[in-house]
Chains A and B, each alone.
Chain A
Amino acid sequence: MISEFEKFKRFKAKNLPRKEMLAPGHRACQGCGEVLALRMAMKALGENVIVCMATGCMEIITTPYPQTAWKVPWIHIAFENPASVASGIESALKVLRRKGRVPKKHIDILAIGGDGSTSDIGIGWISGALERGHDFTYICLDNEAYMNTGVQRSSCTPYGAMTTTSPPGEKSFGQVTWKKNVPGIAVAHNIPYVATASPAYFLDLMNKVKKAALVKGPAYIHIYSPCPTGWGSAPERSIEFAKLVVETRIFPLYEVIEGRYIMSRKITKPKPVQEYLKGQRRFRHLDEEHISYIQQRVNADYEKLIRLSEMT
């Protein structure tokens, strides 16, 4: 077990930090689940953190110069490389501390990318940083497509979903591939901490972010982030979807601590996937056959995960 967790006091409804590190007034869409997840993550981390962010929705909505929503040091270089930028910052602080040029105090380093940045264009950069063992946390805010550029498919787009580059048509039914298992890729790097989270379970999310920061070495958190604009869903239903995705076992919540899978929330009586799929325009075209395939695959993936948690 990771020793840093022993002294960790879990967030509860009663001891939530009051300080917001992400100021209001940013330009996110109504009902954005991503910025909500980001706000919660930042609340968990507090002010002693440096944030490296990929190009994407969160970057543009928070920093239209001369405005910034960030109350902590923040840097953006490009789309695919926040993990590399974080490597540089971590290495710099390490040597500067040794040389007495910065205070000895530990500073959390957080790299954040969307699902496109994480699962597609930046995967090599993330792999490099995880493999090298830098002491930092990588958060993927997964809204399941390239939303900032106008809803194009990524390898995290779910099976069957309509995007502007996976349109359903005479010869297609939308996204033809299954969502890439990025947390699994992170686990394969043998890093000390990997977790999945959803903003509907915000205490769970905050606790996982805090644990990731406490861990010595790299940590990876994959956060499901509802996007009403890209999904064609009602803004007021974002949290509902963030809950349904877990209750249907489509996006299970779990931790992988030093290779050991731990289910955060076992779903014993799962809702049918149909309940999650309806109400989102991106899935509207799917027929019974597709939905039944999705149900089967979700069941199989969940069983595999349960087996992993029992085995490890």
Chain B
Amino acid sequence: MAKRIGIEVSIALAEAVKLANVDVIAAYPITPQTHIVEHLSEVVADGEVDAEFVPVESEHGAMSCCCGSSAAGARTFTSTSSQGLLLMSEILFIPGPMRLPIVMAVVDRALSAPISIWNDHQDIMSQRDVGWIQTFAENGQEAFDLTLHAFRVAEDRRVSLPMMVNIDGFTLSHVVEAVELLSQEEVDQYLPPFKPRYRLDPRKPITMGPVGIPEVYSEAKVAHNEALKASKKVILQGWKEFADLFGRQYNPVETYRSEDAEVLLVTMGSISETAMTAIDTMREKGQKAGLVRIRLWRPFPGPEFRKAAGKAKVLAVVDRCLPPGSTCGPVGAELRSLFYKVPGSPKIFNFVAGLGGRDVTVEWFEEMVEKATAFAKRRPKELYEVIGVREK
């Protein structure tokens, strides 16, 4: 087993792509994704991996190029952020139903206007329904491990779906963390070569992406949805084998001091580490607070989440996205839907925090837990509250 080294998380993630022996990388630069693609173009230039780096003219071109590359049978990677993800949006919906297992690292960043290069989840939440498997990493080790897991799951013939790994911009992508990189032999043990069931080949011509007339369109959409739901089995299997080989076990949702908790914070991504510190502080004060962190966002792990929530009376759900004019944030809405009319389900309160790179502090998590506890007794006017906004 390789030793732990201090490494920037973007570089660690790019190293995972290199170790996956990627064939084609098509990418367009956007802050804060740049370090990933810069490192990949370096390792290609130095011959550390035998791959084609296609420096495309836009993110839309990147995803289009990835579709072609994957359809031709190549292991394919790209990465983007924010406005770039939105420019890709039209094409993001296409590899899912076409069953093209592209892997993408999304370095989450706020959306314009006003323009902001800093972190939140508005970019990815706007693309929630693109039909990709979506995971969220909490730290550098996860960013590395989940990237390898993504290739393994996406390309599994039972899955054949595109998959994205989300890492928070700057607060995760640009920090140096202790990460245990795997060796090439170890990665090869875990990740078999990509053997697509279908690919563009003149020896065996196929038509990919034909017109879906009304008689077949619904069936095609349902087939994709079923495949996405069924992918969970392979996702779990991929994590189990990862644990068997390397000792790190991942689950669709993780819990922290949740067993006897009355109030549970629900988070995604890197703020979970601050949330854990807040839980420790609250526990010291005698508050029965715990944490549930969602790692697998799509397909949503409903049963696992219900189990993780246990007997908690209140969920304080943190969204890093403010959907204007909506009843609440996307994670809040997902969980309200999950627990709707389920007997004994917890009361759910939704907080929007950390937009455009605003730090979410330990104190704010404490405030959320306090407010959620109070709301459980007296119903608030709004279904969500934005935390940490100056009023003057």
Q: Could you say which residues of chain B place their CB within 8 Å of the CB of A102?
A: 73, 201
A285 and B212 CA atoms in complex are apart in Å by 39
From residue B22, how far is it (CB to closest CB) to chain A in Å? 9
Q: Could you say which residues of chain B place their CB within 8 Å of the CB of A74?
A: 205-208
Could you say which of B54, B64, B200, B201 contacts A81, with CB atoms under 8 Å apart? B64
**Most chain B beta-carbon neighbours within 10 Å: one of A60, A70, A76, A92:** A92
Q: Contact between A88 and B205 (Cβ–Cβ < 8 Å)?
A: no
Is the CB of A307 closer than 8 A to any CB of chain B?
A: no
Could you say which of A65, A89, A93 contacts B213, with CB atoms under 8 Å apart? A65
Contact with A along B201-216 (1 / 0, CB 8 A): 1101111111111001
Q: Could you say which residues of chain A place their CB within 8 Å of the CB of B216?
A: 65-66
Q: Could you say which residues of chain A place their CB within 8 Å of the CB of B276?
A: none
Q: Contact between B65 and A88 (Cβ–Cβ < 8 Å)?
A: yes
A21 and B341 CA atoms in complex are apart in Å by 58
Is the CB of A238 closer than 8 A to any CB of chain B?
A: no
Known contacts A59-B211, A81-B91: does B54 contact A88 (CB below 8 Å)? yes
Contact with A along B307-344 (1 / 0, CB 8 A): 00000000000000000000000000000000000000
Looking at the complex, which of B55-63, B150-158, B253-261, B352-360 is the stretch in contact with chain A? B55-63
Q: Contact between A92 and B23 (Cβ–Cβ < 8 Å)?
A: yes
Known contacts A70-B205, A124-B58: does B52 contact A94 (CB below 8 Å)? yes
Interface residues of B in 59-112 (CB under 8 A from A): 60-61, 64-74, 76, 90-91, 94, 98
From residue A82, how far is it (CB to closest CB) to chain B in Å? 8
Known contacts A81-B64, A95-B23: does B72 contact A68 (CB below 8 Å)? no
Looking at the complex, which of A7-15, A125-133, A255-263, A294-302 is the stretch in contact with chain B? A125-133
Looking at the complex, which of A44-52, A149-157, A185-193, A269-277 is the stretch in contact with chain B? A44-52
Known contacts A87-B56, A94-B52: does B208 contact A99 (CB below 8 Å)? no
Contact with A along B37-57 (1 / 0, CB 8 A): 000000000000011101111
Q: Contact between B57 and A124 (Cβ–Cβ < 8 Å)?
A: yes
Q: Could you say which residues of chain A place their CB within 8 Å of the CB of B193?
A: 101
A73 and B206 CA atoms in complex are apart in Å by 5
Contact with B along A53-65 (1 / 0, CB 8 A): 0000001100111
Q: Contact between A78 and B64 (Cβ–Cβ < 8 Å)?
A: yes
A127 and B210 CA atoms in complex are apart in Å by 26
Is the CB of B263 closer than 8 A to any CB of chain A?
A: no
A127 and B61 CA atoms in complex are apart in Å by 11
Is the CB of A213 closer than 8 A to any CB of chain B?
A: no
From residue B20, how far is it (CB to closest CB) to chain A in Å? 14
A96 and B23 CA atoms in complex are apart in Å by 7
A223 and B61 CA atoms in complex are apart in Å by 24
How many inter-chain residue pairs (CB < 8 Å) link A and B?
Answer: 160
Q: Could you say which residues of chain A place their CB within 8 Å of the CB of B23?
A: 92, 95-96, 99
Is the CB of A37 closer than 8 A to any CB of chain B?
A: no
Q: Could you say which residues of chain A place their CB within 8 Å of the CB of B68?
A: 52, 75, 77, 84-90, 92
Could you say which of A48, A72, A93, A127 contacts B72, with CB atoms under 8 Å apart? A93
Q: Contact between B64 and A72 (Cβ–Cβ < 8 Å)?
A: no
Q: Could you say which residues of chain B place their CB within 8 Å of the CB of A68?
A: 207, 210
Is the CB of A19 closer than 8 A to any CB of chain B?
A: no
A47 and B201 CA atoms in complex are apart in Å by 10
From residue A101, how far is it (CB to closest CB) to chain B in Å? 7
**Most chain A beta-carbon neighbours within 10 Å: one of B70, B73, B204:** B73
Q: Contact between A89 and B71 (Cβ–Cβ < 8 Å)?
A: yes
Q: Contact between A84 and B56 (Cβ–Cβ < 8 Å)?
A: yes
Q: Could you say which residues of chain A place their CB within 8 Å of the CB of B70?
A: 88, 92
**Most chain A beta-carbon neighbours within 10 Å: one of B24, B64, B200:** B64
Chain A residue, CB-CB nearest to B93? A78
A68 and B208 CA atoms in complex are apart in Å by 10
Contact with B along A117-144 (1 / 0, CB 8 A): 0000000110110011000000000000
Is the CB of B271 closer than 8 A to any CB of chain A?
A: no
Q: Could you say which residues of chain A place their CB within 8 Å of the CB of B69?
A: 88-89, 91-92
A127 and B57 CA atoms in complex are apart in Å by 8
Chain B residue, CB-CB nearest to A82? B64
Is the CB of A71 closer than 8 A to any CB of chain B?
A: yes
6 contacts between A and B (CB under 8 A): A65-B216, A66-B216, A73-B201, A73-B207, A96-B72, A99-B23
Residues of B participating in the A interface, judged by any CB pair closer than 8 Å: 23-24, 26, 50-52, 54-58, 60-61, 64-74, 76, 90-91, 94, 98, 193, 200-202, 204-213, 216
